[in-house]
Amino acid sequence: MSAIIRRMVESDREAVLGLLRELNDHEAELSHDRATGPETAAACLADDAEKARATGGAQFVADIEGRVVGYLALQLGRAGPYVHEHWRDHVHIENIVVASSHRKAGIGQVLLAEAECFARVSGRNVILLGVLPRNDIALAAYRRAGFAELSIEMAKVLD
């Protein structure tokens, strides 16, 4: 069974919300700052849709025999003058998730390849994403797909 990658449609909404809930729950186990629950998943999906619409990005799903088992949200962005000009215009992976029941089957790699295809079609030479430091499975998958660390994002919460 191979996954078909296609644009997300409204009838995929409930399945994608389930995937985002799964992603949020997983990330909450790795980081104390992550929110969970159905409201958070709905807010994430709405945010993904708005960013895709506003920037010319896109939302994709991985479909196996009519069942959505993966989700990819992309937005187009432009970095500031702190990076070389050829790095500025980029595709940002806002969210990517594969159902736990279908992980380690190459679906994540196929979704990442779709992001690369989207970047090329959009005239972008760079794909950016964020990953939690303790998310070893995702880090390994991204490295297999050719991603490398560029920076570390840090935060301090003030009382």
- CATH code, 33: 3.40.630.30
**Structural domain contains residue 88:** yes
10-residue averages of pLDDT along the chain (159 residues):
94 98 96 95 98 98 97 96 92 97 94 97 95 91 92 81
Note down the domain range covering 57: 4-144
Q: Tokens representing 132?
A: 């939690």
pTM of the full structure: 0.94
What is the predicted pLDDT for the residue at 152? Answer: 83
**Helix (H, G, I), strand (E, B), or coil: what is residue 63?**
strand
**Structural domain contains residue 154:** no
Residues 6+ apart with CB under 8 A from 60: 5, 6, 7, 8, 71, 72, 73, 74, 111, 114
Q: How many domains does the chain have?
A: 1
Give the residue among 116, 142, 119, 111 at the shortest CA–CA distance from 6.
Answer: 111
**Structural domain contains residue 61:** yes
